[in-house]
Every structure is written in structure tokens, then in C-alpha cells.
Structure 1
């Protein structure tokens, strides 16, 4: 009898045909999620490398061809269960019109399909290449915004410290670097995200090829985060120095973008140097070619007997499941998100009792970042009292991650430090007599401001940012709506002023505006 180790397993023509059919069914079923992926890769520089991930994954799977040829494919009902779970997530994504759910459902269904076809033994051989696909799916936008805000602040602080090493007088206010002659704004594009995700992907691939103990491979991958932060901070510092000596043009155009490429290549060099040092550290030293080598699959023995693979029953069941889902997705009409009737915020009254308001505007550069559908910004004042600024942002749809930016993450970007943040409530004639709010005391140097804010979303008043995301998902499924808004009021706390007076000003204005909000932020 032939030994299993000497047998070469290859797919038959029928097996290859079913694999093509399975790929076509996945592509048809998840077409909306795939189209959105392509759109994100096109417009977001931090994910522009996404085009390469499927091809790299295919190469890494092909690299294991010799090992796969020696393993019989037994199939697995666990793969069928994984595909079923992925399709349930897909249905939730389609009902909620949340592309992120559809994209992760695609990964689950693809992994389940492979497991149902290959079985556990072969699936373990290509598990890591399949995990690489996770890096091509963008993280939730609200999570990206929070990461970006923190990275901007850290990069600004380290960059300014580097500028001061050269004896240049510089002042940092949030994300604004003041060189005296001009100010540099460390915007989201300079936060380091455009380096972080590509470098993390590269770090994952390097760790995969690095023949070393697990802790060294994990260190290589995780070190991509501090490497990105430090190198991006260095870039900001260098730009500040160049601007100081050679003018504003050093921070714009081709030179600015070219510096970005140099920084990424420098990050890659640091990553490779780090692996070289780790390889020399410890007892398991080996030549660099052995420690980090791009091996090609071994050639198939010419005299090995060839067996053709059959179609496992779990895999056939997955094909039936995918076909049924594709037919249903074709027959069911596409869900169009409901848009409730509302008044435009431009009609919001400027006279509220004793409060007299003056409208203001947001600069286009900030509107491009906020991506809102309607907004109001008014400075209200009573005679002989400090003003209160009212800001309302409305989003007709938040299904693509375009939602209200939380003041909790935005305020530090302007240089303001949150000295105190708590949840409180205001007595009102609506909202069951109590309006829940976030109460924040912020400080910039000697200046202090008191901030109230809350999220008004389809009849709910919420103070927790993560609950906001949950109800966006829930209402998208149950009500086919994701509209909502943010309400924020701010007043200065004058030197020597009792904090209670600032609280009374904000509470007074909130009681005037709260009965009107349902007209502009519909229930």
C-alpha cells in the first residue's frame, strides 16, 4: 500500500470548476462590500495598499503548495458553520447598510469556505496567509478618528521637542505648531495613519517570514506602532526646521509628499535592522539567509503517485448555501435608507427669551473633515453676561462611519486639556424631565471653558459614544434610519468666577433650545 506521505494530491477539473463557481458566488453576494473596499482603497491613502493584499495572500498560499500537495483534503463541518455565521453577519450588514459588517462577513465566509474544502490539517498550513486579509479591511471610522486624534497630539509633541533641539523657538497649541513667522497645522493626513497600517501589514509579513522564537516575531509586529509614531514625529520636526529656514513652501506640494515616502522607507529600514539585531540576540543565532528567507515551494517529486481530490460533503453544502444566498440577494430589492422630514438648521431662532444670537460659520477645511449634512453655530448672549456658543451638527446618514465627531476627542486637538469630565443632567420640561449631558471643564493655559454636549439620535439622548454606535446599528436594522446629531454648548469661565454661574448660563440656554431640537433632529 502507498504511504500517505508519498502521494501528491491535485485538484481535478471538476474541483477547479466548483472553486471558480464558489468565488463567483462570493463576489456576487458581497459585491456591495467589495465595491466599498475598492472605493476606500482609492480615496484613503492609509489603505491604498489594500490592492496588494489579495495578491500577496495568493502568493503566500502558493508558497505552501508543496505542503498542501501532501495533505488530503477531508473537509470540515466547522467550515460550513463558519460560512453560515458569516452569511448571518452579511444579512445584518445589508439590513443595517453598514459596509464594515459586510466586509468582515466576506472574510468569515471565505475562511469558512476554505476550511469546509480543505479540512483542519490543510487549513492550518495556510491560516496565517488568510489572516493577512484582515489588514485590507478598514477599521470603523469613529475608531480611526480617535486613533488619528491621539497620534496627531503625540506626533506634534515629539516633533516640537525635536525642533527645539536645534534652538528654534516654537510654541505648541494642541496640533498647531507656532514658529512665530507662521503656524503649521498637524492635520489628520499627518497623524501617521498613512504609515501605520501599511507598516503594520509589512511587519506582519516580516514576522511571518522571520524564522525566530514567537516572542521575537511578536516584537517585530508590535514594534511597527512606536516606529511609526517616532518616524512621523521626526518628519514633522524636520518640516518645521525646513519651514523656519527656507519658508512655507517646504510644507507643501511635492516636497511634502516626497518626505512622506522617505519616512516610510526609513520605517522599513528600521524594521529590517531590528530583525537583524534580534537574530543576533540569544542562543538561536543563524545566518541571515536562513533567518529571513523567501523560500519557494519545493518541486513535486516526478515519481510520486498522483491522486485527484474529491469534493467533501461540507464543501458541497457550502456551495448550496452560497447559491441560495446569492439568489435571495438578487431577488430581494435593495434597501434604501429612510430620510425623515426636518427643518434646516438655518431657520433655528436667534432670539430665545433674553438670549440674542449671532450666527457664525465653519471654515471649509473643517467642513471637509466633519462631512456633515447640516450645521448651526451661533453665539448667544444676555446683557452683561459672557456669551454661550451653540453648535449643532446633523448627519442624514451615519452608515458609512460619517458621524458626529465627539468633543471628547476633538477638544484636545485644539490644545484644550480636559480638566474634568462627568455625566450630569439638566431639569427640562421634556425628555422625562431630565436631559442627560456630558459636562466637561477644559483648560488652555489660564483660560477655562465649560462644555455641555450630548448626542441626539432618532428620539434618544445619549452621552456614551459607544452606545451611539450601537444604536446606529440597531436602528439601521429595525427602523432603516441612521440619522442623528450632536448638540454642544460652550461658555468661558471668567477669572475668579464661580463655576455655578457658568453652569447656570449653559443650563438656561439648554432649557430654551431643548424643546426646539425635535424639529431639526427628528425623532
Structure 2
């Protein structure tokens, strides 16, 4: 460790101080963190929160070589962020603004990190820091504004897909009728349960490889399209199972839950295929040529 510290400026004391301050920040906002954990555990539409920390750690890992050029420098900006986060929690508590209370708790933790490592380190690992915003549960009014159009689009595409497959189906709003049995899109496959998870997958993919910023933006903008496609891949067989009177409801429910998690690697492979297709079409996607791409 002494050799690493002499070369790069990092030492065990930085890790100890970082863990201590982050722990103190979490303790100061323990009620909010407990609330975030409860929401993520009980609300399936907020379960994407469990993916945020692993993805943030992954984004730090793929950039680990940057630790060599950005030694830690304590910053008073982090202290200011801690104070601001605490004030935000207090004001939001008085105004009964739940997102503000959660956001204040997250801001305090980010401030604790900045206080120890400094702004240069945060700038070099900004994608890993920015994703922490999604630790804040999405307010209900925003989720409803997204869920309605998403479910309607998914129902339309799913109906067309099942008709192409030879099934006789009818659609009425978000209801898909198959074999004279109505299946609600919200019941069989609520798009909101995976849309933010797919956005996280797109974000992790976009910032795990050295893509051009324009390509990264395209990947992020295409994530809602990927969400609809994955919803259809999940919903079409789910509707068939729910519409078959001979299939037990427990089997359909089990497939519905299992297919939801399977869609995450499917979305990742889909985004990878898009970048491969762009590269095949001679469209520059990477900021520099990777060793694996050289002839």
C-alpha cells in the first residue's frame, strides 16, 4: 500500500476516512435510506434501485486506471453538499416532499465522497456518480405519466405481433383479448416494472465502452424503444399463457416474473447489436480504435 500511495497518492487512510464519512452521512439520513429500501423492496416499479449501486461500482471498475492520474484532494465543496443535502431534507420534511427528502439523503452521501476524494476524482468518474440520482424513487405522478403511453404502445405492438403469429386477438385500450379471455397489459406485463431497469442497462452499456458522445446519446434515447421491444418479447408469450385455460395461473405468473429479469441481458445484447451494426455500416462509433478491432 505504501508503494501505491507514493506513486498515485492513494492510501489506506483515504479509504478509512471515506467509509467513515459515508457511514456518517447514511446515519444522518437513516430514516430516508430506510424509506428508500422499503420502497424498492415492496414496489416492483421501483425495484431498479437495487441495480444502481452495482452499476455504479462497475462503472468505477472499468475506469480504475484513472486513479493513477487523479490523486485524492479533500474539497470543501463536498462539505457544502453535505450541508445542502441536510437542509434539503429538513425543508422537504416540512413540505411533505418525499422526493426532496430522498434526494437530500443521496446528496449528503455524494458530498461525503467529494469531501474525501475531491472534484477531480468525481469528474473522472462522473458517470458512476451521476447514476446515483436514480437511487431516489421516481414520484408517482411521473411514473403514471410514463406508464400510460408505454402500456398503450406495448398493447398495440403486442396485438400486431400475436396476429402475425396466427392468433385471433382483439385490443380494447390496454386489454388484449385472446381466446375470449381478457388480459390486462398492466397485469401481465407492466412496462414500468422494467423501463427504468432497461434505462440503467443502456446507461451502463453506453459508459462501459469508449463510445462517442453522440452514440452514447443515441443509445440512451433508444432505451425507451428497447423497453417496448423487450416488453413485447415478454408480453406476447405471457398473454398466450394467461389466455390458455389449461395453463395454471401460477405457471403464467412464474413465467411473467422470470421473463422480466431475462429481458435485462436481452436489452444489453440488443444495444450491443446496434453498435455492431453501426460499425459494420462504417459509421464511427468509438472515440478510438480498440485493440480487439485492429486488423
Which residue number corresponds to residue 17 of structure 2?
Answer: 18
Q: Note the C-alpha offset of 1:248.
A: 5.5
RMSD between aligned alpha carbons?
Answer: 2.9
Q: Does residue 82 of the first structure (1) align with residue 81 of the second (2)? A: yes
How many angstroms apart in 1 are the aligned matches of 2:275 and 2:216?
9
Q: Note the C-alpha offset of 1:242.
A: 5.0
3-state SS in 1 of match to 2:230: helix
Q: 1:156–1:177: 8 Å Cα contact kept in structure 2?
A: yes
How many angstroms apart in 2 are the aligned matches of 1:259 and 1:150?
22
Which residue number corresponds to residue 58 of structure 1?
Answer: 57
Q: 1:175–1:185: 8 Å Cα contact kept in structure 2?
A: yes
3-state SS in 1 of match to 2:151: helix
Q: Which has the higher helix share?
A: 2
3-state SS in 2 of match to 1:171: strand
Which residue number corresponds to residue 30 of structure 1?
Answer: 29
Q: 1:54–1:133: 8 Å Cα contact kept in structure 2?
A: yes
Which residue number corresponds to residue 272 of structure 1?
Answer: 272
Which residue number corresponds to residue 121 of structure 1?
Answer: 120
Q: Note the C-alpha offset of 1:150.
A: 2.0
Figure out how many residues of one structure are paired with residues of the other and give that number: 285
What are the Cα deviations for residues 277-329 of structure 1, in whole angstroms up to 9, with x where unaligned?
A: 233332467458469xxxxxxxxxxxxxxxxxxxxxxxxxxxxxxxxxxxxxx
Which residue number corresponds to residue 132 of structure 2?
Answer: 133
How many angstroms apart in 2 are the aligned matches of 1:269 and 1:91?
43
Structure 1, 245-254 or 263-272: larger mean CA deviation: 245-254
Q: Does residue 44 of the first structure (1) align with residue 37 of the second (2)? A: no
Asked which structure has the greater CA Rg, the reply is 1
How many angstroms apart in 2 are the aligned matches of 1:193 and 1:7?
47
How many angstroms apart in 2 are the aligned matches of 1:59 and 1:234?
27
Q: Note the C-alpha offset of 1:241.
A: 4.3
5 Å-filtered alignment, 1:209-224, equals 209-224=208-223
Which residue number corresponds to residue 253 of structure 1?
Answer: 253
Alpha-carbon distance change, 12 to 255 in structure 1, aligned in 2, over 3 angstroms: closer
Q: 2:106–2:136: 8 Å Cα contact kept in structure 1?
A: no
Scaled by the length of structure 1, the TM-score of the pair is 0.49
Q: 1:76–1:115: 8 Å Cα contact kept in structure 2?
A: yes
Structure 1, 222-231 or 19-28: larger mean CA deviation: 19-28
How many angstroms apart in 1 are the aligned matches of 2:157 and 2:291?
34
How many angstroms apart in 1 are the aligned matches of 2:236 and 2:19?
51
Q: Note the C-alpha offset of 1:143.
A: 1.3
Q: 1:86–1:105: 8 Å Cα contact kept in structure 2?
A: yes
Alpha-carbon distance change, 149 to 52 in structure 1, aligned in 2, over 3 angstroms: closer
Scaled by the length of structure 2, the TM-score of the pair is 0.82
How many angstroms apart in 1 are the aligned matches of 2:19 and 2:146?
39
How many angstroms apart in 1 are the aligned matches of 2:259 and 2:54?
28
Which residue number corresponds to residue 282 of structure 1?
Answer: 283
3-state SS in 2 of match to 1:209: coil
3-state SS in 2 of match to 1:252: helix
Which residue number corresponds to residue 105 of structure 2?
Answer: 106
Q: 1:211–1:290: 8 Å Cα contact kept in structure 2?
A: no
Which residue number corresponds to residue 207 of structure 1?
Answer: 206
Alpha-carbon distance change, 235 to 61 in structure 1, aligned in 2, over 3 angstroms: closer
Q: Note the C-alpha offset of 1:109.
A: 2.1
Q: 1:199–1:224: 8 Å Cα contact kept in structure 2?
A: yes
Structure 1, 24-33 or 251-260: larger mean CA deviation: 251-260
How many angstroms apart in 1 are the aligned matches of 2:107 and 2:21?
14
What are the Cα deviations for residues 70-109 of structure 1, in whole angstroms up to 9, with x where unaligned?
A: 4343433333333322221111233244442222112222
Q: 1:210–1:217: 8 Å Cα contact kept in structure 2?
A: no
Structure 1: stretches of 5+ with no match in the other structure: 1-5, 292-523
5 Å-filtered alignment, 1:334-483, equals none
Q: 2:78–2:115: 8 Å Cα contact kept in structure 1?
A: yes
5 Å-filtered alignment, 1:238-249, equals 238-241=237-240, 247=246, 249=248
Q: Note the C-alpha offset of 1:258.
A: 3.3
Structure 2: stretches of 5+ with no match in the other structure: 1-5
How many angstroms apart in 2 are the aligned matches of 1:105 and 1:117?
19
Q: Note the C-alpha offset of 1:44.
A: 2.4
Q: Note the C-alpha offset of 1:244.
A: 5.7
Q: Note the C-alpha offset of 1:189.
A: 6.1
3-state SS in 1 of match to 2:180: coil
What are the Cα deviations for residues 409-432 of structure 1, in whole angstroms up to 9, with x where unaligned?
A: xxxxxxxxxxxxxxxxxxxxxxxx
How many angstroms apart in 1 are the aligned matches of 2:56 and 2:279?
25
